[in-house]
Amino acid sequence: MTLRVQILKDKFNQSLGLPFKELLPESVIVQALDELKIRYKRRLFDPIVTLWAFLSQVLDNDKSCHNAVSKIIAYLAGQGVEIPSSDTSAYCQARARLPEKLLEKLFGKAAESLSEKVTAEYLWCGRDVKVIDGSSVSMPDTVENQSCYPQPKSQKAGCGFPIAKIGVIFSLATGAAVALVIDVLNIHDIKLARRLYQFLNPLDILLGDRAFCAYADMVTIKNLNCDAVFRKHQARTTSMRKGKIVGDCDKLVTWHKPKKCPQGLTESEFAALPLSLTVREIYYYIIIPGFRTERVSLITTLLDTTTYPTLKIVQLYYQRWQVELDLRHLKTTLGMDVLRCKTPSMVRKEIYIYLLAYNLLRSLMWSAGTTYGTPALRLSLQGTRHHFNNFIPEFLAASLTQCHQLYRTLLKVIVHKAVPDRPARNEPRVRKRRPKAYPLMTKPRNELRKQLQTA
């Protein structure tokens, strides 16, 4: 058993470990296990082997447990040792034994490790910018998932899927996910955001859309010694006559504390809010064809017009769209949109593994970009995943010296797959591909089967 485990660790370290050696080496995993005081038996699927296999599983196009176990068997087959059963039960049980806190901790360590690589040249006006947004993911329709993450009320029982809401903070410099919270679908984005503020570092700038632009939140962010740039909430009216003009389409305005305690705040939190807050309002017009919004009003706590000119803040908010691309990479490119696990605990673990794998790819893109002088955010994440997966067999067959040469080659080909910069690109919001003409499910499957039998 010990020999087989060591063989698997060597294989995973050779195939996955080298590209990600700086971000998630075995020593970091062992340290996290020790910090959480996790004890485990000596078995084939120990936490380290299981974690690497889980990561390999979500990075692959075929995300089945059978494919993951097949890789384990293939790694051991050529070593002259006893191969495990092709049944996936042992691997699935090992995944279930992985503590959720372990994956959460490793995700945090990976995000922190990548953030430490950001130098001053990649900052905005000398400040680190974080982008916040919310999204949702669906999962198998099981009783456990439905009880924890209920489907939308508009769907009939048995005709929908459980859906979880996620709130994520991304780094604007690296594109990596920095923090994550998971909750039910009907929770408001701002409630998720209030659980994410604890992950901000002093002097960070938080960038977000108008869902996060609330008086209490602006105060909270300032109390953390951070700043915010949000689009103005649609419920707030704009008055051109109020405020101190500090530039073209730029003024300082005073916000007053709400008269009633908003939902989501306790009475003590509401009482602690200051009576007023000075913010900066910037408004501009968009004349690009295809853009839905014609006028944009921004609210920011960056009051110094010399250090943070109007145009720079407008350009910064334009980059907020990057968070939409990051979420699309997670949900569409990596396939996190539809999860596979059948219990809430495993669903949360699967989400953390996806974000961990995403950060590992981002670290690879960062290494490639900084090594060969190409902006990391312009590199293709899908192309990076393709190259990485295709290089794995070569890593497994190579010596240590050859592995380092292969690694340099991998970085070079990743740089070749750059996404062109197409500013102000616009496309009509239509679909050319016709969907299949099947009706939507409006009754549970067992009722539909009975209809077929009686027809």
- Residues in contact with 56: Cβ distance below 8 Å, sequence separation at least 6, in sequence order: 12, 15, 16, 68, 71
Pairwise CA distance, residues 187 & 197, whole Å: 17
> What's the confidence (pLDDT) of residue 15?
58
> What's the confidence (pLDDT) of residue 17?
58
Q: What is the pTM of this model?
A: 0.91
pLDDT band, very low/low/confident/very high, at 2 (cuts 50, 70, 90): low
Q: How would you label 52-87 residue by residue, b for 16+ Cβ within 10 Å and e otherwise?
A: bbbbbbbbbeebebeebbebbeebbeeeeeeebeee
Which of 45-54, 81-90, 335-344, 441-450 has the highest average model confidence (pLDDT)?
Answer: 335-344
Per-residue model confidence as pLDDT tens digits over 212-264: 999 999 999 999 999 999 999 888 876 656 778 888 888 999 999 999 998 88
Helix (H) or strand (E) holding 170: strand 163-171
> What's the confidence (pLDDT) of residue 9?
63
Pairwise CA distance, residues 349 & 185, whole Å: 18
Per-residue model confidence as pLDDT tens digits over 400-434: 788 888 889 999 999 998 888 877 777 787 889 88
> What are phi and psi for residue 298, nearest 5 degrees?
-105, 145
The structure tokens listed for 125 are 């006006």
The structure tokens listed for 150 are 């209920």
> What's the confidence (pLDDT) of residue 14?
60
* Nearest one of 183, 151, 152 to 167, comparing CA atoms: 183
Among the listed ranges 20-34, 104-118, 175-189, which one has the minimum average pLDDT value?
20-34
